[in-house]
């Protein structure tokens, strides 16, 4: 789908979308919990729908009722019906990495597949780790589809956290769902273990692990002792687990999905470029890593003010800035859009985290923003964005990457001519209301967004 955007002025109040990071974790935790869970402010992005479909396929009853998501589950152990049994994670990197260890709690052989760019992402982490936990696995040379058969049995392991914290999230949830005390194990040592330890080296995106642990606590899963993000200790003793029941044995939970700092980052940058706008629904105490967008906006001298109702942001004379996005790589696209309007050379650390996303984002950002007259290169792990503070209108392509589509859209708001974005429907992955929300904020200039007739907004 092609979207055409004219230079625009935005004004008004907008609420940030629901966080898919929070939503997908809540779906997984609700599935692992025995009882009825109520999720308030549920998201409806493609990734959210993938998580809901997975837990429904695994046996949970999932329904929407008056804007709330109701999930009824029997927890662990769970049973699946039908053979062969397959689940599909869509294009969700979090779902595939989080649900594989969870699915491995089953004794049944299950095939796990995905779509789009997910088919090319490396999954050899599971080839290495799952056999150590008593799980049989076959992969397509380290890629999807995966065929696994458990049950997963906790053991002392060490994992590499440098590629993504999402692999660790899945392991933590799977360990946390096992009823303790756990009897069995993959060997005599683990069978007699008083604790189970997951050691992690070179962990990235630590704030997302904080989010995982918070969700686990809300849903009554066994929350491990966190030893400086280098080791997570699960006590194999029902009197020591936290909460005391452990294993998701609470009778359901009530959970409110946070506003999404990842999607909200694009709204905030849009306000800094073409506002003034007010963004509501973003929790300044959140553990979401992408809350760091606030720091980058301050460093760029954006016009920003925080009050009890939310965040007000307006255009100002912005300057190039330095920022470390190693723990929040999803901020690269909105940061590049911001840097395009900051005169000078902006430096952003963490380029090595961009290879295995929906696109190779370093290359994609360089190519598409290059069409706008913004020069991008990188040295080792640092991206350099050289801008004169102006952006040219151009015809760009999302590369089927939701964050690239949104970054190009935001950059278009003050370009010197219209911006044409191809495959703009990619925003459905995380923020399906993105273009509608920008239309709500339009002011002074009419018809900024040209969409195909009779099609609506990316249905």
For tokens 């907004």, the residue is 457
Rounded to the nearest 10 degrees, the angle between the axes of helix 361-370 and helix 332-339 is 30
**Cα–Cα distance list, 228 to 6, 212, 231 (Å):** 48, 15, 7
Q: How confident is the model at residue 456 (pLDDT cuts 50, 70, 90)?
A: very low
- What was the pLDDT predicted at 237? 80
pLDDT score recorded for residue 451: 45
Fold match between 3-17+259-450 and 20-235?
Answer: yes
pLDDT of 182 reads 86
Q: Is the pLDDT of residue 458 over 60?
A: no
pLDDT of amino acid 197: 96
What is the band of 248 on the pLDDT scale with cuts at 50, 70, 90? low
Among candidate residues 172, 182, 177, 171, the one with its CA nearest the CA of residue 249: 177
- The pair of three-digit structure tokens given for residue 241, joined into one six-digit string: 């687990």
- In which band, very low, low, confident or very high, does the pLDDT at 249 lie, cut at 50, 70 and 90? low
% of the chain beyond a pLDDT of 70: 93
Question: By C-alpha distance, which of 279, 284, 283, 282 is closest to 269?
Answer: 279
The token pair that represents 228 in the structure block: 């400086």
What number is the average pLDDT over the span 68-97? 91
Mean pLDDT, residues 194-198? 93
Domain ranges of the chain: 3-17+259-450, 20-235
Instruction: Quick: pLDDT tens for 176-186.
Output: 999 888 888 88
The mean pLDDT value for 15-44 works out to: 97
Mean of pLDDT over the chain: 92
Looking at domain 3-17+259-450, its CATH superfamily turns out to be: Enolpyruvate transferase domain (3.65.10.10)
pTM for the complete prediction?
0.91
CATH number listed for the domain at residues 20-235: 3.65.10.10
Q: What are the E-state strand segments in 41-128?
A: 61-65, 68-74, 85-88, 109-113
Active-site amino acid positions: 330
pLDDT of residue 192 exceeding 80, the answer is no
């Amino acid at each position: 789908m092609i979207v055409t955007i004219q230079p625009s002025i935005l004004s008004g109040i907008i609420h940030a979308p629901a966080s898919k990071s929070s939503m997908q974790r809540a779906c997984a935790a609700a599935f692992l919990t025995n009882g009825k869970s109520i999720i308030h402010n549920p998201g409806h992005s493609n990734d959210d729908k993938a998580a809901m479909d997975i837990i429904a396929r695994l046996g949970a009853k999932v329904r929407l009722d008056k804007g709330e998501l109701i999930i009824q589950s029997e927890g662990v152990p769970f049973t699946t019906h039908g053979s062969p049994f397959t689940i599909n994670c869509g294009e969700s990197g979090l779902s595939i990495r989080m649900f594989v260890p969870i699915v491995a709690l089953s004794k049944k052989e299950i095939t796990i597949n995905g779509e789009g760019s997910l088919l090319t992402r490396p999954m050899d982490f599971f080839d290495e780790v799952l056999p150590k936990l008593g799980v049989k696995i076959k992969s397509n040379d380290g890629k999807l589809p995966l065929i696994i058969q458990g049950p997963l049995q906790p053991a002392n392991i060490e994992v590499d956290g440098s590629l993504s914290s999402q692999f660790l999230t899945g392991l933590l949830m799977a360990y946390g769902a096992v009823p303790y005390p756990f009897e069995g194990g993959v060997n005599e040592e683990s069978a007699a273990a008083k604790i189970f330890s997951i050691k992690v080296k070179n962990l990235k995106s630590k704030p997302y692990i904080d989010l995982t642990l918070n969700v686990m606590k809300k849903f009554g899963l066994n929350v491990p002792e966190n030893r400086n993000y280098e080791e997570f200790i699960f006590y194999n003793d029902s009197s020591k687990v936290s909460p005391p029941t452990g294993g998701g044995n609470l009778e359901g939970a009530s959970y409110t999905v946070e506003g999404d700092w990842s999607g909200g980052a694009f709204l905030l940058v849009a306000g800094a470029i073409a506002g003034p706008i007010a963004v509501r629904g973003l929790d300044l105490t959140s553990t979401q890593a992408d809350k760091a967008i606030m720091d980058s906006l301050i460093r760029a001298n954006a016009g920003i003010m925080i009050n009890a109702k939310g965040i007000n942001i307006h255009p100002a004379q912005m300057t190039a800035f330095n920022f470390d996005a190693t723990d929040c790589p999803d901020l690269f696209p909105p940061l590049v859009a911001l840097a395009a309007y900051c005169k000078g050379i902006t430096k952003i650390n963490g380029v090595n985290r961009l290879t295995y996303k929906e696109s190779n984002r370093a290359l994609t950002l360089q190519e598409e923003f290059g069409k706008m007259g913004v020069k991008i290169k990188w040295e080792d792990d640092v991206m350099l964005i050289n801008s004169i503070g102006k952006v040219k209108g151009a015809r760009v392509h999302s590369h089927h990457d939701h964050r690239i589509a949104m970054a190009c859209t935001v950059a278009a708001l003050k370009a010197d001519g219209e911006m044409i974005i191809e495959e703009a429907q990619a925003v459905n992955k995380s923020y399906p209301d993105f273009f509608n929300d920008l239309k709500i904020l339009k002011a002074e200039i009419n018809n900024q967004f040209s969409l195909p007739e009779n099609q609506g907004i990316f249905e």
